[in-house]
Amino acid sequence: MRRPMDTKMMSQWRANWLGRIVAQARLRKWQCPLVWTTSSSFDGVHDDKLQDLVTLAPSEWEAVVRELTRIAMLMHTNGDMRGLVQSLRRCEKFLHSPRRRSMCPLLSEYREALKHVVDVTCIMVACVLEKKNLDQEPGAETVADTDTWGPSLKAAMLAMQAQVRVACFLGLPSGAETAHSGTLLLPHALVLASRAKDAAPEEGEWKALYADLLPHDHPRKLTLLRNAVRARRTPFTLTCLSRFLYKLGENEAFDLCADALLEWPLSVHTNVSYVLMFLSCAAPCKLSGCLAEQCLLRLQRLVPQSMFALGLALELRLHTESGAKHVRPQPYGELDHATVDKAQKLYAWTRPGRPRLARSTSTAANLREAQDPDRH
């Protein structure tokens, strides 16, 4: 009977130490999701959705930011320590491993800002778990002073704060969004993205981040998205513009979606975006069903354990077999919680007791296995 009491006491001391370390970090003007958020920031947020958001991130930069968001959630809510350690290792690997050929341009240009956030997170977590103050941690003295940074690094920090709040929103269950736009639930993210855009007007990524959060009827939304693509052409900026043009009913949306796939064929984000647009489109002839299948085969190799990607594979199979012109009449997007929930329900086919999709390299064969549990 003492086990529950021990667990409760452990959670209590961890929360107390976290509050102490966060207060010390704020006095030092340190920046990281642990400082930007509280336990209430993660009310209703699902850990499995945050994990999928990391997998589906449009860039390595945003994958690290979302991983750091998950670390903050696990710390503030006394979550699983094993998941916490794994997330910390992945962040350090992205940042401190030798440069790779696929190095994200944002990681290269704003490395100092992201390094500050990752280092601060690691130090704070270590101090909480070891029950010691920041001045007792040797690495604390080597943390960079953000007051000496130029506008571009400060803008990157503001953008990260906005991305953390967006990740928290995307981790909420279906129904948390408003009828018109997620912007109403993301006022702080919108303000922070606006400040990042103004601090570094030449950075297209922050411009797209801000524009993507604006209401669909905002008069400058389309102009901002086009300018963002001109400033920095990335999977994120291009798919943001493509999504909005699709909402407006412009055929250019299909061309941009295909262009993104051609330019970044190994990007999880562009492959998922193509499949989502294909499933959402009321005129399937605008996009290729064969190419959508190829995207799913590619996703199977890139992210074989992604619940969202496996759900999309099953949804596409049902879409093809039914001969329906479209599955969902609403435009697709990262804020489309209904898509995530539907993918999760479809993924139930692969839970224990059902054949696992990873056994075959053929998407079509996998889908047939999932729909016929008695086949073997």
**Over its length of 376 residues, how does the chain's per-residue pLDDT go in tens digits?**
444 445 566 678 888 999 999 999 999 999 999 999 999 999 999 998 899 899 999 999 999 999 999 999 999 998 888 889 889 999 988 777 655 555 689 998 999 999 999 999 999 999 999 999 999 998 899 998 899 999 999 999 999 999 999 999 999 886 554 433 344 457 899 999 999 999 999 999 999 999 999 998 999 999 999 999 999 999 999 999 999 999 998 989 999 999 999 999 999 999 999 998 888 876 556 778 888 889 999 998 998 888 788 888 888 887 776 655 444 434 445 544 455 455 545 444 433 343 333 333 333 333 333 334 344 4
Residue 130: count of CB within 10 angstroms of its CB? 10
Residue 255 covered by a domain: no
Judge whether 173 and 46 are in contact, CB under 8 Å: yes
For residue 116, which of 19, 33, 15, 18 has the smallest C-alpha distance? 33
Domain end, chosen from 151, 175, 202, is at 151
Q: Which of 151, 177, 204 is the last residue of a domain?
A: 151
**Cβ count within 10 A of residue 232:** 19
Q: Distance between CA 78 and CA 326 in Å, rounded?
A: 42
Q: Judge whether 350 lies within some domain.
A: yes
CA dist 82 and 171 (Å) reads 20
Q: CB of 247 within 8 A of CB of 222?
A: no
Q: Please answer whether residues 274 and 258 qualify as being in contact, where contact means their C-beta atoms are separated by less than 8 angstroms.
A: yes
Return the structure tokens found at 29: 């003007």
3-state secondary structure of 216: coil
**Number of domains the chain is built from:** 2
Asked whether residue 356 is assigned to any structural domain, the reply reads: yes
Full-model pTM:
0.81
Do residues 9 and 134 share a domain? yes
DSSP label at residue 331: P
User: Per the domain annotation, does 308 fall within a domain?
Assistant: yes
Task: Tell which residue, 111, 110, 106, has the closest CA to residue 59.
Answer: 106
Does residue 317 lie within any of the structural domains?
yes
Q: Write out the two tokens for 236.
A: 């994120």
Tell me the residue range of the domain where 331 lies: 265-376
Q: What is the CA radius of gyration of the chain?
A: 21
Fill in the DSSP letter of residue 147. Answer: G
In contact, 207 and 236? CB cutoff 8 Å: no
Q: Cα separation of 165 and 297, whole Å?
A: 32
Report which of 289, 303, 252, 295 is spatially closest to residue 272, judged by C-alpha positions: 295
Co-location of 147 and 1 in the same domain: yes
Q: Is residue 254 part of a domain?
A: no
Residue at which a domain ends, from 115, 133, 151: 151
The whole-angstrom separation of Cα 329 and Cα 228 is: 28
The burial class, CB within 10 Å (0-12 / 13-18 / 19+), for 304 is exposed
Identify whether 202 is part of a domain.
no
Give domain status of residue 56, yes or no: yes
